[in-house]
Amino acid sequence: MFQEEGAPLPAAILAGQRRRAEPRYTTILFIPLSAPPHKLETDWATSCAEVILRRCPACESDSIIGHGRRRKQAHDEHHDWIGIRRGRCPGCGKTFTFLPCFSFPYTQYSLLTRCQALRRRFVEHCSWEEATSTLKDPNRVPDSSTLRRWSSGLDRSQPALSFLRQTLARMTPWRARGDPADHQAGPLSWLSPVLQILWPLRI
């Protein structure tokens, strides 16, 4: 659940009062990837565009219904704006936004763009200016200062292999819950190719 603070009322601003408004809560549900690994970079948004997760995390009933659509920026080599769906639970009244796992809330660039740029910087030793990725919309190329800000979230305190072992250990309970006969079920079907992209960066 992501908390977004409310803005002060215009009358309060004019009166010089900066009383904090009640915080608003937005619930984001991330959709597991269903694109095949060899089409992950091109199809990650399309494969999630029509998905609605029915299980409400608030009241735990299978009651979420469609509640409109909107567009969101998710710039990378194959995407600029992507379509996303919203949902509502009639039981508890909560609304939800469904996002692909490669598009974080309140961001303009896909996770692939961030990873490609940081890989070029830290693995290929490019300068900050040379590390920017090729984007579908050439007018949206991030500034080098944006790349530096992205790098501040990296955990460089541990070796990459140590990070990989910790990640796989955290995935063990998911493995145990999955159906061993169904290799497409559960998070591993989409997490494995994602980890191949992300783990060297230790995000």
Whether residues 91 and 105 share a domain: the answer is: yes
Whether residues 17 and 73 share a domain: the answer is: yes
Confidence of residue 185 (pLDDT cuts 50, 70, 90): very low
Whether residues 159 and 138 share a domain: the answer is: no
When comparing pLDDT for 182 and 146, which is higher? 146
CA pair distance 149, 170, nearest whole angstrom: 27
User: What's the token pair of residue 42?
Assistant: 């091109």
- How far is CA 81 from each of CA 29, 44, 57, 107, 110, rounded to the nearest angstrom? 19, 13, 27, 12, 10
Whether residues 136 and 199 share a domain: the answer is: no
Whether residues 99 and 19 share a domain: the answer is: yes
pLDDT of residue 136: 92
pLDDT of residue 112: 85
CA pair distance 163, 201, nearest whole angstrom: 9
Number of domains in the chain: 2
Which residue, 170, 160, 140, is CA-closest to 203?
A: 160
- Show the domain range for 165: 154-203
Whether residues 141 and 175 share a domain: the answer is: no
Report which secondary-structure segment, H or E, holds 131: none
Whether residues 36 and 11 share a domain: the answer is: yes
Whether residues 162 and 114 share a domain: the answer is: no
For residues 109 and 143, the answer to whether their CB atoms sit within 8 Å is no
In the beta sheet, which residues pair with residue 84? 70
For residues 96 and 29, the answer to whether their CB atoms sit within 8 Å is yes
Whether residues 14 and 99 share a domain: the answer is: yes
Cα dihedral value 74, 75, 79, 84, nearest 10: 10
Lowest mean pLDDT among 77-86, 138-147, 151-160: 151-160
Whether residues 92 and 76 share a domain: the answer is: yes
CA pair distance 30, 69, nearest whole angstrom: 15
Report which secondary-structure segment, H or E, holds 58: none
Whether residues 95 and 129 share a domain: the answer is: yes
CA pair distance 93, 2, nearest whole angstrom: 17
Whether residues 163 and 125 share a domain: the answer is: no
